[in-house]
Structure 1
């Protein structure tokens, strides 16, 4: 018993230290990571207006296509420590460690420290978590805020709890919206149901509390929308991702219902041909999140069965409703969305997977003297290790011994779990440890491989192999990565940059980011992320050129690879018109096969 007490006290520091090492180790190898966001951080660290709106450049031509809360965290870091890979990425890693800590605290209140440690370990060891908490996409902050909101909802369900816990949960979800927009609201049905079912107040008071919490969500998310909509358009950047310079349009359209229906004006078309539940286990998302997903589902069902006769306010059942609802709704949306969706979005499932496993396994273990519970545990371990072996075959050349080791350990643990109720306490704990190690070894190993691999571009991938670069020809970036211009090209663009509002202009935010980060001078991203936003229009661009505000135009190789912009997406063709006008009226200069046009020269 004394050894177990020591384990409980040391478990959390060890978990957090291991998580910190995993998320911080060789973090600088990824360089600018997602240069699209790093350039916006560079802009925000130099200009307060750019920081407020999330501009792609410090001269405030256009914003990124998200609300900017995640950028604000990195902006502060860069203002304090200067612009470098570590100042951009360390906040993300620390956010990941904090998320593991808060998840531990949440699960611990329901099922004890052992369950909390298991839940935290599952989150930390999920490959997509090891990817995103080492990267600068906004999903990291979203996950932390939603886990914090779940903690507050759980506290609100406790006896004699203040309704302020529910209000704080609403505020956390609202600020989650400011990180990743409508995705933050996927947890709301689960949160509301958990409190409505398990809250200790009367039904009328619970309904009133939920209405107040809903108001907190609206206020904490809506103030920013109101600010942007009411701010004069002439003194703020264009809202990237929208066709009418509207953050409401961005929220409900390109980043909202368009993700569900596939009708995203300005997008590049629907490439999702794997719609359905199998998507989470398929080639696109399986290696990110599938490893322990069946275990979470089994534990969720088993937990609801075990608590079916518990009082209405039973905290374990409330937790299963909360985390199970989070898992189900988010998995449903990710599986059946017809619009743009990326595998790394599934990091939002990882906390729910960890919580369901931590609480469910603890309940099953407490009931191990019942053959039904031991059968459920045995079956879970068997399913997980078989799935791990299947997933590992997708990288068959990487650590082939791990597949056989996990299989042997898993089968052995599954057999021994069937008789765990008859074993001595020491032997039973040894079997439990074998089962946990067998189930976590494969995802943890894949997470370590992910951490050991540098990642860049807009769509990072998990695993040991480097992602395929999305860069175009001749040093100019494509949609997924940013260009890395030569020293000569950088020197040319930087020469006289202080005499212009923008040192250069190029179609696409990823392309602009590469040149801006290399030169340190503002580079206009024509058309935003996809090159399909009407910002600027041809008339406006001509006006800026005529008044001497843009020095160079860089011909983007994306045009040669994908054709003109906006033709098949319903988006604006302004970028095409601008490129054609420049090509017609100015003479190109080729530097390392990159074509640049000096807009300060007299046009023909």
Structure 2
């Protein structure tokens, strides 16, 4: 079996026209040889026809690969867009901020929760910029908020495809195999259950993953364009810019991919070691500038001229960056958090495989790492600038560093964070699966492939078994299929004639792909068929006893993973503020759904007030704001633990007639940080008369 054979599971179409394949000596950057050039059009076409230079229309080469890529992207778009509106506002916390940004440019720039700019969300605003512009252009609806997220998912799948295809091209010396490597990687990315969830949702993770994937592609291009150091530097600077804007989506999490990017360029980049190091320093500067300009603006603008920085205790974006969204995520010391202790689960090396996280992303995690290790072993004698080795370093370090961080961090962590692992797993699976398949006649390659298939089958069987009522037969079919495919791969290495192109080889390839992707596909379809709303969501079918994954025990029952648009009316716990048991709707993790009577009351004479109402907690505020499209103050920010506003500031707002109502809402115990919200609630209760409007306790201020 030669290293230039086509993937037997997808034979090239029979045609009398010459097939487009890469020559044996492929350019170092893996680019395809130039085609025949564009056809003349317009007057040029007429003149060419008269001169006899154009005798007939010709079909562009690689039509089938282009069609297959189009099918992949269209299918991904259909999966991510189907019945998208069923999720309503999805995470109302971010939807309300997008609505605010569509009404006020200051709110858009800072990422304020309301158009009157009381407080920001607890993240930088990059993802809100996209949603806010969409709402400004198309009006407020779940579709205008969620469609941009779905399109980000399609773009991410495309970037994974082209990154893997380019790396595989010189290694396979076969355009068809390189294309199939990209297709496999793109398919794995598209069908990762947590990716289906987050590209149908409006958390910042969608933009974060898109920008990290774009940065990975740019880094790999900088290495593959090894013949031109200036071109390499341009791509590396672009990677820094992508990472910088990724920082503005979710802050320090974007840096988890940087070690792998840096090592890959130091190992395989063009020019000498000193110049490679200088290039990396320049890329680091690009990252710092593209992230730092917004941080500098926030720090330099006087505090009384901008909204309070949500998630911080001192109205500081640097505190938010380094504390609540930074080191606090690692060591659990997050002032303003509501978990504490082991409230977010016990860290450990196998956390990603437990009942909360496993079904989100772990399906091919061991297999991908095994395939990457196999590629490194088989390519150990390749040139320094080898594109495959560089790709394995980029994708592999992405998975290892991010996976270990998620496994061992003691602070806030949710199942949907796992989407950050998906591109790395997809890159390793696509590249390793096809390149090792091409070399399956070699015992080492065959053994690695068989081991990866067995690992995928065993893990899928275990994960599917955790949702026993969901397709109970599938776990056994997947396991048997993976074992059978692995045995056939080993048999082909032992008996070469069994690996010759033919029906057996095609069957083996099809069985291997089906066994690897059947479990993720089933979970992905279940995810797309389920409406998701609230602050904490998870992918896949409902698992008995799973409840709200990624939540501290104090919030059991608040997880909203099935699209309950009534929010948290039945949440347990104590009330922060007045109105215990008084019909307050919403809570820490789910938004309120106000009655028509409440909406009418808030809209009455709303033009006289800066805020139609104030309520403790951002999710409580979000429901009222989205229902009325009026500013609603989120007292205490997301957790109700930010000192914004203070009691004195709130009293001043009331004295100036800027707040119409205070709405009683349910909040949870266990938080750390300011008690301003509790003091404000007690003051309102002591000085104003409660009234019940549509089942909700309200105080007219």
Aligning the two structures, in what range does the TM-score lie when normalised by the shorter sequence?
Answer: over 0.9
TM-score (ref. length: structure 1) = 0.96
Equivalent of residue 151 in structure 2, options 59, 72, 94:
94
Query: What do residues 299-341 of structure 1 show as CA deviations (whole Å, max 9, x unaligned)?
Result: 1111111111111111100111111111111011101110001
Which secondary structure does the structure 2 equivalent of 1:477 belong to?
A: coil
Aligned to 2:112: 55
Aligned match of 1:268 in 320, 323, 338?
Answer: 338
Is the Cα–Cα contact under 8 Å of residues 617 and 635 in structure 2 kept in the other structure? yes
Aligned length: 592
Maintained 8 Å contact 2:346/2:410: no
Residue 595 of structure 1 corresponds to 697
Asked if residue 471 in structure 1 is aligned to residue 602 in structure 2, the reply is: no
Measure, in 2, the Cα distance between the counterparts of 1:227 and 1:520: 28
> Which residue of 1 is the match for residue 199 of structure 2?
133
Are 1:116 and 2:182 matched, yes or no? yes
Tell me how far 1:182 sits from its aligned partner. 0.5
After TM superposition, the structure 1 stretch with the greater mean CA deviation from structure 2, 274-283 or 410-419, is: 410-419
Contact 2:639/2:671, CA 8 A, preserved across alignment: no
1:399 is displaced (CA, Å) by: 1.7
CA contact (8 A) 1:452 1:464 kept: no
Distance of 1:60 and 1:307 partners within structure 2 = 56
**2:425: which partner in 1?**
353
- Identify the residue that residue 151 of structure 1 maps to in structure 2: 217
Q: Which residue number corresponds to residue 361 of structure 2?
A: 289
Alignment partner of 1:77 out of 131, 134, 141: 134
Residue correspondence of structure 1 range 413-424 to structure 2 within 5 A: 413-421=485-493, 422=496, 423=498, 424=500
CA displacement at 1:2 relative to structure 2: 3.4
User: How big is each residue's C-alpha offset from its partner over 1:532-581, in whole Å with a ceiling of 9 and x where there is no partner?
Assistant: 000000000000000000010011122xxx34xxxx54411100100000
Q: Which has the higher helix share?
A: 1
RMSD of Structure 2 on Structure 1 (CA): 1.4
Partner of 1:490: 599
1:384 to 456, 459, 468: 456
Do the aligned residues in 2 keep the contact of 1:63 with 1:240 (CA within 8 Å)?
yes
Written as runs of structure 1 = structure 2, the 5 A alignment for 1:152-167 is 152-158=218-224, 159-161=226-228, 162=231, 163-167=233-237
The gaps in structure 2 that reach 5 residues or longer are: 1-10, 15-61, 169-177, 543-559, 571-582
Is the contact between residue 596 and residue 694 of structure 2 (CA under 8 Å) also seen in structure 1?
Answer: no
Task: Pick the aligned partner of 2:383 from 311, 324, 332.
Answer: 311
Aligned partner (choices 394, 407, 425) of residue 501 of structure 2: 425
1:225: which partner in 2? 295
Q: CA deviation at 1:15?
A: 0.7
Query: Which residue does the alignment assign to 2:536?
Result: 459
| Partner residue of 1:249 out of 319, 323, 341 | 319
In the other structure, the counterpart of 2:27 is: none
Give the gaps of 5 or more residues in structure 1.
600-604
Q: Which residue of 1 aligns with 2:409?
A: 337
Query: Which residue number corresponds to residue 206 of structure 1?
Result: 276
Q: How far off is 1:9 after superposition?
A: 3.3
TM-score by length of 2: 0.83
Structure 2 distance, partners of 1:296, 1:396, is 26
Distance in 2 between the 1:104 and 1:304 partners? 21
Match of 2:512 in 1: 435
1:43, distance to aligned residue in structure 2 (A) = 0.2
The whole-number CA distance in structure 2 between the counterparts of 1:72 and 1:105 is 27
SS in structure 2 at match of 1:400: coil
Contact 2:636 2:645 in 1 (8 A): yes
Q: Is the 8 A contact 2:368 2:452 kept in 1?
A: no
Q: For the residues of structure 2 that align with 1:152 and 1:226, how far apart are their CA atoms?
A: 26
Deviations 1:74-129 (A, max 9, x none): 11111111010110000000000000001101011011111111111000000000
The aligned counterpart of 1:602 is none
